[in-house]
Structure 1
């Protein structure tokens, strides 16, 4: 069973996003990440227990909604943290000790520890969660590095985030100042890094990376990106919808009725792209005649065919400059 097969049976969007956090592929390779990777379901028994728990939650997600559907959770990172905190608090095999623990000195704030937990084997773990969506910028004739993966708004870069995780965030639980907070260690610090990487699709087959960075997991989730002009020239009769930021994680399945609105949504998207000023994530949908678990009058549903970013025509040049600006400060 693939990760997608594990995630798609769940109906509720928040439950599906939580399943995506738990079961989607890591962005980083376990052998080259530079630090241990978190394993929320490390064994088959833990995996099956989590799936049974998620199925029950899917039937009655009210308690989950109360925690993650708050007006204050407008940023994707905060939403992801709330989902994972719910799992660690109420899930079948981990015990949350504390979350979002600020570490301060008299002069300044040093940082914040995302999660402290104890697993079923008694390991005391410190998890740092990052959910990231980066676009790959061509590396020219050299080998690709994490610096060639940039955030859509050019305020973040994978190499900077990776370095900050390794050199700052993971070390917070080992600092002398943290010991004084009363959380008895030692803590095994692990990275929990999920997301999707997007590769250019301009019709010229330039999206392939012949020599990818060794830090990347081979099975990481992928998408495409195109300039506004490229998208307008290639979209043909495809049906698309823009995705709100809190909808960037798990794929959605639309009912036949929801799918009927895709023609109008594609038209609205085309108007928006004509004057595009910042990148937008979109999904392309296709109709499937049947899908177990969904009941509609026609028996049809719409599933994502692909996911990508549409960027302004001038964006690639600015992104290339950002990718090679090694003086950029660490991303937060």
Structure 2
């Protein structure tokens, strides 16, 4: 984000500065703040959100995250009270926690509904004020899309695993509906004095067919997080050369790359399996299943090596048809 009068930000925060965090929820929050955006800016409406305006705010946030990692009890309590089951809601809770307790921008309001004549027009995810006094309207989304376009470089070829969502349609909705909400005449009556700068906060992972080369659409940030996908028939051969330890990733573990510390209660409950056992586990599932490959590092930690989707053999054909609708 270009901020008038602000010190220049580093091009990227080295992963090692936050990858040392141990607590899964704190790692997920750090990933949400520091991971690459899925998209480039889409001016004039679709500017990118950033939690930081200066390099000093980056440093303060890293220090704050390490303190939270050492004492995450309050964050855990809030997440437990929220009874989170959806990935998007989990991300909202993490970002909201940061805006309420972190060292940079402050939360003005969250999930602000906009209504007209009793009809809900939409909801603004976050209203934020920076330390420099800027008033920002953030729309948050965490998305996982699989590329199904035979090498084509079109945003429409990125489809949700359950074929109910498409990246081009999501972006159009964000640009044409969600971001303009805070500029509507009805919004002024809610008491949140603006004007508000609309920005999109879109993070996630994009997954590509293993062994194939795909050109990125111009809308994508080249640094976006990447994974792979493979059909059930093709996956055993791919897995044999890739890793020995695997596990299915539950939906709430789809943010930061996973790392399991030795001797922790969390690690004790993790079951790693070989590729053949995982093949049997996913054989009867109706849709794609996200899995991750792990290796054991020198410190005795199970560290995620890569992640991807195992999809039914008929899924690619259905996905290509959905991409062209």
TM-score normalized by the length of structure 2: 0.90
Give the match for residue 219 of structure 1.
223
Check if 1:164 corresponds to 2:170. Answer: no
Give the match for residue 158 of structure 2.
149
Which one of the candidate residues 224, 228, 245 is aligned to 1:239?
245
Q: 2: CA distance between counterparts of 1:287 and 1:154?
A: 34
Which one of the candidate residues 11, 16, 23 is aligned to 2:34?
23
Q: Is the 8 A contact 1:283 1:306 kept in 2?
A: yes
| Displacement after TM superposition at 1:192 (Å) | 0.3
Which one of the candidate residues 214, 217, 241 is aligned to 1:209?
214
In structure 2, relative to structure 1, the CA distance for the partners of 1:228 and 1:3 (3 Å cut) is: farther
Which one of the candidate residues 40, 45, 70 is aligned to 2:56?
45
What's the C-alpha RMSD, in Å, of the aligned pairs?
2.0
| Displacement after TM superposition at 1:235 (Å) | 1.9
Check if 1:62 corresponds to 2:73. Answer: yes
| Runs of 4+ more than 6 Å apart | none
Task: Provide structure 2 residue ranges, at least 5 long, that are not aligned to the other structure.
Answer: 1-11
Give the match for residue 309 of structure 1.
309
Alignment of 1:56-135 (within 5 A): 56-70=67-81, 72-135=83-146
In structure 2, relative to structure 1, the CA distance for the partners of 1:147 and 1:73 (3 Å cut) is: same
Tell me which moved more, 260-269 or 146-155.
Answer: 260-269
| Secondary structure in structure 2 of the residue aligned to 1:156 | coil
Summarize deviations over 1:119-147 as a string: whole Å, max 9, x none: 0110000000010010011246xx41110
Check if 1:35 corresponds to 2:40. Answer: no
Summarize deviations over 1:170-215 as a string: whole Å, max 9, x none: 00001111111111000000000100100001xxx32x223x2111
Give the match for residue 323 of structure 1.
323
Q: Is the 8 A contact 1:32 1:214 kept in 2?
A: no
Q: Is the 8 A contact 2:247 2:273 kept in 1?
A: no
Q: 2: CA distance between counterparts of 1:226 and 1:167?
A: 34
How many residues end up aligned between the 2 structures? Answer: 309
Q: 1: CA distance between counterparts of 2:270 and 2:214?
A: 36
